[in-house]
Amino acid sequence: MCGIVGIKSHSPAANEIYDSLIHLQHRGQDAAGIVTYNHRVHIKKGLGLVRDIFDANNMVRLEGNTGIGHTRYPTHGGYGDGEVQPFWTDVPYGIALAHNGNLVNYKELAHEISMEDKRYLNTHSDTEILLHIFADNLNKARKTMDDTDFFDQVCYAVKKVQQRTSGSYSVIASIVGKGMVIFRDPHGIRPLAGGQRKNDDGTTDFIFSSETTMFYALGYEPAENVKPGEVVYIDEDFTVHRRQLAKKDFTPCIFEYVYFSRPDTMMNHVSVYRSRLRMGQNLAEAWKTIYPDKKPDIVIPAPSTANTAALSMAHALGVRYSEGLYKNPFIGRTFIMPGQTEREKSVKYKMVPQAIEIRNKKVMIVDDSIVRGNTSRQIVKMVKDFGANEIYFVVACPPVKYPCFYGVDMPTKSELIASRSSEEEIQKYMGVDALLYQKIDDLVEAVTRKGDHNIDHPCVACLNGEYVTKDVDEQKMQEMEQLRNADRNERTLSIFR
């Protein structure tokens, strides 16, 4: 999972891209990069948090009114500096490209590009694959098509990307002397929102981003999102060109609404905050049906992503909501930390139970999801240690039973506790007095009930094993797991080099 942003403005873009990456920091904490251009290209990338990579000296060098930025949470590729986006190629024109998603057919494409296209790949990143396919076909179009309509050339190149790739990709590319290109995979699995800002002189600035969280702060108004299978091109005169090149079922990732996105985001014209409220309401109704004799004294969220669902569930149950676990805001998100040891160590630092809220009470803990189970078990143990009489555990997301190959780091089925254990076994493993998972239909309803959206059905492959690209079988699953484990080993080794 990553965060991407592109800005085409009538004023310097670097500071706004930096601010946008701060707003997208929750989507990736491993690395970040910014590319801008005026008459020259300016690049700054590095490992770590956004605030640690960019300082006043390198920000002032990022000149130009057009630029793109990226925060990285790796699901593919290694951990070195060379894997940090945006990626760059100087042929044709000069293209910088940032990508959020994951290519299912990465291995086949890497082989084709090396053996058939006779191109050397510098990284293990699927973003380099995307950049190669797009740039190579844009170069072919430049040589064979009418040079007066650059948008047709762009559409030709994006169409070739769609034909050769499978998986998820939301892409923002900056092309020197030509403008900005934005496109999205035909299923729209990863988000890509658009915004615009009217200036006093009548001109309009444009922003495209994984989320809308920074729009208000930067003065942008939400505009038309990038549709699944659509390409958007903003030329140097700030004219907007749009064309939908492919149309399949619109299946955005359900986990964006459960965990990854900030609650103040409008995603695919659906409020993440309101969808989480509805998750809590649905859970409350299910609780009253399944456990009519179990009423908690307090409802507490863990971690902060579950705050909204916990609040609405407490209200629906008529129970006091309490922040009985204090969260240290300076500890990273445990789900997206690179290893289990780091995740387990982080939980103790990240959350501190408040004994005065917990002792001698029946405590209901609401979490957004259970993936591996270790973090949830640690939370339960901490609450027990601080004197809870009974503990009920409620999960806003249904059991995660299958790995995601569309951009979420769930590499192997064996790591997913729900893939190898029944709900009764999970309850026993966690040591709780009652366990309630959201049902898939209730989760889908919570996301799609309201909003001016055209979602056909969210992708719930991690919950039911039905992959929307229709090309993930057992063999492909094993292949992808092997690639993901190799990437993990590479990242682990890089720490000690």
Residue 253 DSSP code: B
> Tokens for 375?
């973090």
Please report the sign of the dihedral spanned by the C-alpha atoms of residue 448, residue 277, residue 376, residue 485: positive
CA atoms within 13 A on the CB side of 341: 1
Residue 394, φ and ψ in degrees, nearest 5: -120, 135
Q: How many residues does this entry show for the chain?
A: 497
For residues 157-171, one letter each, b for 16 or more C-beta atoms within 10 angstroms of the residue's C-beta and e for the rest, the string is: bbbbbbebbbbbbbb
Torsion angle, alpha carbons of 387, 388, 389, 393, to 10 = -150
Report the alpha-carbon distance of residue 92 to residue 173 in Å, rounded: 13
CA atoms within 13 A on the CB side of 89: 21
> Tokens for 333?
């998100």
Burial class (CB in 10 A: 0-12, 13-18, 19+), 329: exposed
Sheet with 204-209, side-by-side order of all strands:
41-47, 31-37, 66-72, 3-8, 204-209, 193-198, 221-222
Is 253 among the catalytic positions?
no
Q: Which position has the token pair 């959350």? A: 351
Q: Residue 117 in contact with residue 97, Cβ under 8 Å?
A: no
Rounded to a whole number of angstroms, the distance between the first and last alpha carbons of the chain is 25
Give the pairing type, strands 3-8 and 204-209.
antiparallel
Burial class (CB in 10 A: 0-12, 13-18, 19+), 52: exposed
> Tokens for 70?
């990226």
Query: What percent of the residues of the chain are helix, what percent strand, and what percent coil, each to the nearest 5?
Result: 40, 25, 40
Sheet with 230-235, side-by-side order of all strands:
87-89, 95-103, 167-175, 179-184, 230-235, 240-244
H/E stretch holding 102: strand 95-103
2, 155, 459, 462: the active-site residue = 2
Residue numbers annotated as active site: 2
